[in-house]
Structure 1
Amino acid sequence: GIGENYESVDIIEYHGDVFAEHWGEYDCFVGLMASGIAMRKTAPLLDSKWDDPAIVVIDEALTWAIPITGGHHGANQVAHDLSQLGAVPAMTTASEAAGKQGVESKAKALDSHVVNGNSTVATNLAVLNDELGPVARLDGPRAVLVGGDVTVLKRNANDGIVLGTGTVSGVKKSQVLDAWQAALEDLDLGFEDVEFVATATRKGDEEGLYEAAREIDAGVVLFEKGTLEGFEGPTPSRSAELIGWPGIAEASAIAGGRDHDLAREKERFDDAVTVAVGR
């Protein structure tokens, strides 16, 4: 079940003060109730989207999973997970509704956090209009002066490798996990050394890839074609000839790596998954 994706799941019987009583104890509330009830009961408790728990409501027939608050802070992901049980995730945050990765989602995938939250209004609008471009990496020591429309992401950890990954359509979670494990073992590394998984936007709907990433507790970063073209890998690829894209595994590993370098060139596994390791 979807409970495997979470540290813990508790079931609490509803009463009028249930949200107030447990506010601050959980990262997300999933309410089996009308959205109006959830909104009326939680409105007086809301303080900041950066600190408040996410809230999702579902109906008894599990027809809909509706993020009420905290869409970019867990609610959209929970709604998506509930879709595995048959619910339709009704995401209304602009970027996700348009099938794009908002700034907060990018931060989570990069194992980082947003430093200046007010800036995300401008940068998420840029995401929606396809104007943001890739996340720029700056390594210090360095001082940076930015404007109010520049979102600063700070890494939660200082090291880690990037799993650049390309797959066939309909790839299975087990195939992806086996390929990652083989590539990492060759470098005497494990899943705990992975900072995030990188791939192309054209692979954004590969559920097996996302399931594998959740299994190892890693985010997935999607790179646009234009970005990957600037980081083509050393190994020849037929992707440019066949689909007009650079080789996804190496290009995404290089683009995502802190040093824009490869720790391991690409290798194809099970005729289904291609993996390169970036650093």
Structure 2
Amino acid sequence: MKETVVISLKQFSEDSKNLAGSINADYLPYKKEVFIEAFGKYKKIVAVMSAGIAVRGISGLLKDKWTDPCVVVVSPDLKFAVPILGGHHGGNELAKEMSELGIIPVITTATETRGLMSVESVAENIGRQVLNKDSTREVNAAVLKGTIPKYVLTGPAIALVEPSVSVLLRKGEYIAGVGCRRGVTESEVLEALNRAFEISGVKQDEIFAYTTTKLKEDEKGLISAIGKTGGTLVFLDDDIINAEKPESPSRASDKIGLNSVAESAALALSKRKEIVMKKHIFGRVTVAIVR
């Protein structure tokens, strides 16, 4: 299955099938439930129809701009391509791609209309993704006012950033939450992670980031172990962790004022809030994996 699909009304099917072939996309004829089907399968949707039909079709399906597919409406005469959803998440690029076919892209996102690149676009161009998603609104607003600095850090390193700083990390689908006892060793953490990967079926290079409570900022064994994996370890504040509702609350964590560490921390940074492996205890280390 391809990552893009073209959907059109019956009367525009021939032109739409040709369009699908030109952009390496699947084709689906329009029907009442077609957007429900497409949302579950495709990352990019091209709708050859009026914007009104497309908007009504997707209105009840929207969940999160970071996980929803991008949607580009193409006018039935194939003259204009208008991203109506996910402009910063592939929609603008898809519309521009179709300009090679003579279709005019109509871009409405504030940064791109001024010839600037959003945080999301920068991340996509360099093969990264945004860790702290809430930061993008403030950073993109600053981009509109003028250039903002960009810093590249090479690890191992520790970076403390404010909420208005967007952090771009390697791409991945999963967050690994890690809790541990005081004085845990590097080898204990690495062994626990390896066992977690075996149980969950998730590969180490699919991990977007590792996370735990800020109470572990001085835990040398944990920090060293994550450094050996080449991953990024994110320390979270208590309020962020306690805002989540883990499937497996922890009595041990309750002693330090947290509902859990591994599961809640992973949920806090995850994209889809889907628990792939609920917390497992491996000796003095607890690991949970969330998508």
TM value normalised by structure 2: 0.50
CA offset at residue 60 of structure 1? 1.7
Alignment of 1:146-225 (within 5 A): 146-156=161-171
What does residue 74 of structure 1 align with? 90
* Structure 1: 4+ residue segments shifted above 3 A: 1-6
Alignment of 1:1-279 (within 5 A): 8-133=24-149, 135-156=150-171
Aligned-partner Cα distance in 2 for 1:63–1:31 = 13
CA offset at residue 5 of structure 1? 8.8
Asked if 2 retains the 8 angstrom alpha-carbon contact of 1:2 and 1:81, the reply is no
Give the gaps of 5 or more residues in structure 1. 158-279
Aligned-partner Cα distance in 1 for 2:121–2:54 = 24
Asked if 2 retains the 8 angstrom alpha-carbon contact of 1:27 and 1:53, the reply is yes
Q: What SS is found at the alignment partner of 1:12?
A: strand
CA offset at residue 143 of structure 1? 2.1
CA deviations 1:13-58 (Å, max 9, x no partner) are 0011100122120011100111111111111101111100000001
Q: Which has the higher contact order (CA 8 A, sep 6+)?
A: 1
What does residue 208 of structure 1 align with? none
Asked if 2 retains the 8 angstrom alpha-carbon contact of 1:31 and 1:55, the reply is yes
Cα distance change of structure 1 residues 125 and 2 upon mapping to structure 2, 3 Å threshold: farther
Aligned-partner Cα distance in 1 for 2:151–2:99 = 33
Q: CA RMSD in A?
A: 2.0
Q: How many residues end up aligned between the 2 structures? A: 155
Q: What SS is found at the alignment partner of 1:106?
A: helix
Q: Which amino acid aligns with 1:144?
A: A
Asked if 1 retains the 8 angstrom alpha-carbon contact of 2:38 and 2:45, the reply is no
Asked if 2 retains the 8 angstrom alpha-carbon contact of 1:91 and 1:97, the reply is yes
Aligned-partner Cα distance in 1 for 2:72–2:81 = 7
CA offset at residue 146 of structure 1? 1.3
Cα distance change of structure 1 residues 153 and 2 upon mapping to structure 2, 3 Å threshold: farther
Percent identity of equivalent pairs: 40
Cα distance change of structure 1 residues 34 and 90 upon mapping to structure 2, 3 Å threshold: same
CA deviations 1:67-107 (Å, max 9, x no partner) are 00000111001100111111211111111111111111100
| Larger Rg computed on CA atoms | 2
Aligned-partner Cα distance in 2 for 1:2–1:153 = 34
Aligned-partner Cα distance in 1 for 2:134–2:22 = 30
Aligned-partner Cα distance in 2 for 1:128–1:62 = 31
Asked if 2 retains the 8 angstrom alpha-carbon contact of 1:115 and 1:151, the reply is yes
Aligned-partner Cα distance in 1 for 2:161–2:141 = 18
CA deviations 1:191-248 (Å, max 9, x no partner) are xxxxxxxxxxxxxxxxxxxxxxxxxxxxxxxxxxxxxxxxxxxxxxxxxxxxxxxxxx
Aligned-partner Cα distance in 2 for 1:5–1:108 = 23
Asked if 2 retains the 8 angstrom alpha-carbon contact of 1:2 and 1:84, the reply is no
Asked if 1 retains the 8 angstrom alpha-carbon contact of 2:70 and 2:89, the reply is yes
